[in-house]
Structure 1
Amino acid sequence: MTEQPPGPEDPNHVPDAEHPAHARTKPPTGRAPRPRISPLQILVAWLGAFAGIALIGAAVDLLPKLNLLIVGSFGASAVLLYGAPRAPLSQPRNLIGGHMVSALVGVACYRYLPDVSVLQEAAAVATAIALMMATRTIHPPGGATALIAVIGGEQVHALGWGYVFPVLIGALVMLVVALVSNNLYEAGSYPDRWD
Structure 2
Amino acid sequence: MKILNSLIAEKPPHKLVSEVFWSWLGAFLGISAVALIHYDFLLKSDLPMIIGSFGASAVLIYGAPHSPLAQPRNMLGGHILSAIVGVSCFMLVGNIAWLACALAVSTAIAVMHVTGTLHPPGGATALIAVIGSSRIHELGFLYVLVPVASGALIMLAIALIVNWLPKSRNYSIRIFKN
TM bucket normalised to smaller: 0.7 to 0.9
Q: Residues 72 and 173 of structure 2 are in contact (CA less than 8 Å); yes or no, is this contact kept in structure 1?
A: no
Structure (1/2) with the larger helix percentage? 2
Alignment of 1:1-195 (within 5 A): 24=6, 35-64=13-42, 65=45, 67-113=47-93, 115-165=95-145, 166-186=147-167, 189-191=170-172, 193-194=174-175, 195=177
Q: CA deviation at 1:158?
A: 0.9
| Distance in 1, Cα, partners of 2:9 & 2:37 | 47
Q: CA RMSD in A?
A: 2.1
Q: CA deviation at 1:35?
A: 3.8
Over 3 Å counting, the alpha-carbon distance change for 1:39 and 1:158 in structure 2 is same
Larger RCO (CA under 8 A, 6+ residues apart): 2
Gaps of 5+ in 1: 1-19, 28-32
Q: Which amino acid letter does the alignment assign opposite residue 21 of structure 2?
A: L
| Distance in 1, Cα, partners of 2:76 & 2:46 | 19
| Alignment: residue pair count | 169
The DSSP-based 3-state class of the residue aligned with 1:44 is helix
Q: Match for residue 4 of structure 1?
A: none
| Distance in 1, Cα, partners of 2:169 & 2:18 | 16
Q: CA deviation at 1:186?
A: 1.7
Q: Which of the two has higher C-alpha Rg? A: 1
| Distance in 2, Cα, partners of 1:121 & 1:93 | 25
Gaps of 5+ in 2: none
**TM-score normalised over the length of structure 1:** 0.80
| Distance in 2, Cα, partners of 1:90 & 1:107 | 23
Instruction: Give runs of ≥4 in structure 1 deviating > 6 Å.
Output: none
Over residues 102-149 of structure 1, what are the superposed CA-to-partner deviations in whole Å (9 max), with x where a residue is unaligned?
A: 000000000012511000000000000000000000000000000000
Q: CA deviation at 1:68?
A: 3.3
Over 3 Å counting, the alpha-carbon distance change for 1:183 and 1:66 in structure 2 is farther
